[in-house]
Structure 1
Amino acid sequence: MSAPTRRSLREQATAIDASPSAPPASASVQPRPTGRGLGRMLADVVLWIAAIAGVACMVLVVVALTANITLIMFRTGSMAPTIPAGSVAVVQSVAAPQLQVGDVVTVDREGDLPVTHRITSIAPGANADERVITMKGDANAADDPYPYTVQTVRIVLFSIPGIATAIVAMGSPYVLGGLTVGATVLVVWAFWPRSTTSSRVRRAPTEVDR
């Protein structure tokens, strides 16, 4: 068998150099974790709580308007210990014929603050819609000095002690301003657009024959 010539060796080397190199290894994509921080999660929780509280407030407002329900605050302790000073009571407007002895009601007085005491007696008035009632505070030793002629009163449904101060503070312009600013900052921070980090693409090294 004859030895290869120089020309055949050059042709073999050229064929090897011209052959297509091996395809590069497929790129492996490793996305960077995009977990939200603890602050973002807390902000979402606070926003949900605020949204639920807002809906509850709207429902309560609708119920209050349709059922003639309002709030009254107790500055004195004339109804203690049943309703101590600093309490807030939920009251509903009712017609005088619905009243019973023992009810705690609020009576409006012309030229003076309303009074909230317990009914001790009920007498007929000048017409079917009118009643003459006497009242007494639970902490007082005697009835109020004069009876009250009423057609409607506000009956106490229930009371919550110790929250009158907080409700009064909520009406302060400084408190309202602080709550408004805080809520605005929270909403802006929660919904502020954030840039997303692009995924890192790592390619396996390829060997090149030279």
Structure 2
Amino acid sequence: MAAASGVACMVVVVLALTAGITLIMFRTGSMSPSIPAGAVAVVQRVPASSIEIGDVVTVDRSGDLPVTHRVTSVEAGAEEGQRIITMRGDANADDDPFPYEVTSVRIVLFSVPGVATVIAGLGDPRVLGALTLAATVLVVWAFWPRTPREARA
């Protein structure tokens, strides 16, 4: 089980570095019911030129938290590769108040409901300390010198 977890962690790191894939945690229900609060989404950075109406994308905002909503319109921007998009959360009645000028966005590949609280909990110092202690005990137990089986008999 520990080996499988280690391999999964390595795969996630390689995907993050090579394919621009990361995780986004949802704190609000603005994308409910398709992505409820407490969900985690797997997102990938893509050029703005590949955005289509209906895509769920995350837009980075300077000095503010990113916003993840569904694209409602796409227009060409002033520069090549730039797009001006409007977005709306699935649970919202109106579009976001201002359009976003973007050259790249993070598109939502899929989401998993209810996982955000588990991931956030893993960042708690007490949990990290307990995991570190458990890993230390496991390593010490695995490499502790043992007596040969013949000597035990």
TM-score by length of 2: 0.94
In the other structure, the counterpart of 1:191 is 143
Deviations 1:110-150 (A, max 9, x none): 22111000000011110221111000000001111111111
> Any residues of structure 2 matched to 1:93-172 within 5 Å, and which?
93-172=45-124
* Structure with bigger RCO (C-alpha 8 Å, 6+ apart): 1
Distance 1:199 1:185 in 2: 24
Deviations 1:163-184 (A, max 9, x none): 1111111111211111111111
What 5-or-longer segments of structure 1 have no aligned partner?
1-48, 201-210
What 5-or-longer segments of structure 2 have no aligned partner?
none
Deviations 1:2-31 (A, max 9, x none): xxxxxxxxxxxxxxxxxxxxxxxxxxxxxx
Aligned length, in residue pairs? 152
Deviations 1:62-98 (A, max 9, x none): 1211001111110000000000000111111110110
Runs of 4+ in 1 over 3 A off after TM superposition: 196-200
Compute the RMSD of aligned alpha carbons. 1.4
Paired residue for 1:89, among 41, 47, 51? 41
> Any residues of structure 2 matched to 1:173-192 within 5 Å, and which?
173-192=125-144
Q: Percent identity among equivalent residues?
A: 68
Question: Which structure: greater strand fraction?
Answer: 2
TM-score by length of 1: 0.69
The code of the aligned residue for 1:98 comes to S
The code of the aligned residue for 1:177 comes to G
